[in-house]
Amino acid sequence: MTVGKQYCSVCGKEKEQVHIKYAEIDAFIECECERNLRLQKEKADKEYAVKTAIELRNKSSHLSVLGCNASFEKAIIDKYNEVAVRGGKFLLNRLLTGFNEEKKNSLVLQGNRGSGKTYIACSVINDFNAQNPISDMRIKQILKERDNFYSKDEFSPVKSPCKFITEMDLYALYYENYNYCKTNGPLDEFKKAEKLLVIDDVGSSNYEKQRVHSMYLNIVDYRYSQGLPMMLTTNLTKKELSDYLGDRVFDRLNACSYFIDLTSPESRRKTDA
Ligand SMILES: Nc1ncnc2c1ncn2[C@@H]1O[C@H](COP(=O)(O)OP(=O)(O)O)[C@@H](O)[C@H]1O
Ligand SMILES: [Mg+2]
Ligand SMILES: [Zn+2]
């Protein structure tokens, strides 16, 4: 069987032909320069897909734009936040590799406004997302969606096992947008986050005490009983926190959390400002 000639699309050289005996066909051998081009493209595609997947996963974490840029690599560390950064890195590490039967899997960061609590919480999620590998299937899907001219908001989501929510949004979700008798409502995305739930700015508002207590009881009790890690940030002291959350919630939190204070005198704003 005779086959026509083929030329390399890059250098124009005629391609070598081989006869594949068992299949009874003639095939052209890819020229070195075409091969390099193909490998380059595959590498660029993979980089694009991984970067996009991380962006999509950050989105699914509900990090703010500011939060998306937080990272332990970039963090400025001083004597005030040093212990908290170490605590955050410990948690990150355990989220990536697993807990070793430790009783404490959660963190409560206390400190005045501007001391860097939210930054550390976001760093844990961000760095987790950046280091948690993306499956090959997901990579292929992203490239397929790109090649079909989807815009980025139309890409199918990449689920994040770590979630971030402020107390204010959590309260709204719990009491306003959500019928909390239902089990599969939007609240569950946060309440049942597989790896980590960050609740930011606990105690920042003056909601009715009973409602705050029952909301936290519902969420903290669930995560505590399932052994699921949490991270809370707050301006409150331990005593104030116990009053704010209610004894039952605080006892559970106390049993599973390291409390770290990063109050810094250099911050712009003080507690109760
Ligand atoms: N370790 C850090 N390295 C670099 N920037 C930081 C660090 N901690 C906080 N910041 C920045 O300082 C500001 C206040 O930090 P934030 O985490 O919001 O404080 P808090 O949550 O305690 O009120 C933010 O703009 C944040 O990006
Ligand atoms: Mg904050
Ligand atoms: Zn060539």
Is the pLDDT at 70 greater than 70? The verdict is yes
pLDDT at 180: 56
Q: What is the pLDDT of residues 140-173, one digit of tens each?
A: 999 999 999 998 889 999 999 999 999 999 999 9
Ligand 1 pocket test target in 64, 86, 119 with most atoms within 8 Å of CB: 119
Let me know if residue 223 belongs to a domain: yes
- Mark the residues whose beta carbon lies below 5 A from ion ligand 3: 8, 10-11, 31, 33
Q: How far is residue 225's CA from residue 228's CA, in Å, rounded to a whole number?
A: 8
Domain that holds residue 121: 64-134+159-261
Let me know if residue 207 belongs to a domain: yes
Q: What is the pTM of this model?
A: 0.86
Let me know if residue 99 belongs to a domain: yes
C-beta of 246 in contact with ligand 1 (< 6 A): no
Question: Could you give the C-alpha distances from 49 to 130, 138, 139, 144, in angstroms and in order?
Answer: 13, 8, 5, 10
DSSP label at 79?
T
Q: Is 265 helix (H, G, I), strand (E, B) or coil?
A: coil
Q: If we measure between CA atoms, which residue out of 30, 65, 48 comes closest to residue 155? A: 48
Q: Which helix (H) or strand (E) holds 157?
A: none
pLDDT at 231: 98
Let me know if residue 227 belongs to a domain: yes
Question: Comparing 252 with 206, which gets the higher pLDDT?
Answer: 252
CA of 117 to the centre of ligand 1 (A): 7
Let me know if residue 169 belongs to a domain: yes
Report the domain count for the chain: 1
β-pair type (25-28, 17-20): antiparallel
Mean pLDDT computed over every residue of the chain: 91
Let me know if residue 21 belongs to a domain: no
CATH of the domain at 107: 3.40.50.300
Let me know if residue 53 belongs to a domain: no
